[in-house]
Amino acid sequence: MGTKNCLITGATSGIGLETSKILAEHGYDLILVSRSEDKLKTLCKDLERNFSISTSSYTCDLSSLCNTIEISNKIKTNHKEIDCLINNAGGIFMDFEITEEGYERTFALNHMSYFIVTNILIENVTSRVINVASEAHRGARINDDFRCPNKFNGWMQYKNSKLANIYFTYHLNSILDKTNSHLTVNCLHPGVVNTNIANNNSSMIYKTISSFIKFFAITSRQGAFTPTYLATSPEVDSFSGGYFIKSRPVKSSNISYDKDVAERLWTLSTEIWKSI
């Protein structure tokens, strides 16, 4: 059996960076995606030197649907077999921002990047799809204006995007189950992690609250334990359609099991993807 490989989005900081390091320690070759070309070059060089693995890197702003489609197709061509895909890239945007395609940035980055990357690469992935969600999904509810809210609240939009990650996971699992696929798909809450996820916000109030939360947060290394468990553990070889906290399956919010909402979100996402 050859060396396994894993694709990680948002690979140069926070949970993505630490997940990359841990998988390198496990001997995985890595396909890394990040918006920072300089950070990617430095990370790949360090991982190859320290762990004697092979790396490939792709620079991409995953909030740009055009860029995401382009890079995903390039990866599809260059990597015919990908053992594991970890959708990790994400952000919190307290200020209302519209992408070049006309969608709110949280929706584009946190949800649509997962959807597009996975759907383009699904035939190349041989084993596991892992989606980094969050306990922030509790209390969220996705409305018809999710793609571009009429009344914008940054924190609620982030919560909605994390609920979308779970809907995406569960609906993809139902599709894979019907096709008797060998793939598994699971999602997770990494913990309240001290990362740079919210550092792109200008609000002093939010920065103060964020700093307070980070005082009690776990490290990015600790936050990477559950994604790497789902990527490597034989305990979840055939486990699919789960939501994990601290490497154990738990029940997500009641609303996250609404199959009708999940199907509508899937249909909407497909329409957006195909319209680009």
For residue 206, being part of any structural domain is answered with no
Tens-of-pLDDT digits for all 276 residues of the chain?
579 999 999 999 999 999 999 999 999 999 999 999 999 999 999 999 999 999 999 999 999 999 999 999 999 999 999 999 999 999 999 999 999 999 999 999 999 999 999 999 999 999 999 999 999 999 999 999 999 999 999 999 999 999 999 999 999 999 999 998 899 999 999 998 875 544 555 555 555 555 556 657 899 999 999 999 999 999 999 999 999 999 999 999 999 999 999 999 999 999 999 999
Q: What is the CATH number of the domain that holds 55?
A: 3.40.50.720
**pLDDT at site 150:** 94
pTM score > 0.85 for this model?
A: yes
Instruction: Pull the structure tokens for residue 81.
Output: 């077999």
CB atoms under 10 Å from CB of 169, counted, come to 28
CA–CA gap between residue 276 and residue 270 (Å, rounded): 10
CA–CA gap between residue 164 and residue 153 (Å, rounded): 16
For residue 215, being part of any structural domain is answered with no
CA–CA gap between residue 228 and residue 130 (Å, rounded): 9
Three-state SS at 85? strand
Instruction: Pull the structure tokens for residue 51.
Output: 């762990």
CA–CA gap between residue 83 and residue 184 (Å, rounded): 11
Question: Which residue range is the domain that position 123 belongs to?
Answer: 5-192+220-275
**pLDDT at site 194:** 75
For residue 199, being part of any structural domain is answered with no
**pLDDT at site 180:** 81
The two beta strands, 125-132 and 184-189, are parallel
For residue 63, being part of any structural domain is answered with yes
For residue 114, being part of any structural domain is answered with yes
The two beta strands, 243-245 and 82-87, are unpaired
Instruction: Kindly report, residue by residue over 89-137, the tens digit of the pLDDT.
Output: 999 999 999 999 999 999 999 999 999 999 999 999 999 999 999 999 9
For residue 95, being part of any structural domain is answered with yes
Domain count, the chain: 1
Burial class, 39, CB count within 10 angstroms (exposed 0-12 / middle 13-18 / buried 19+): middle
For residue 211, being part of any structural domain is answered with no
Give the contacts of 215 (CB within 8 A, at least 6 positions apart): none
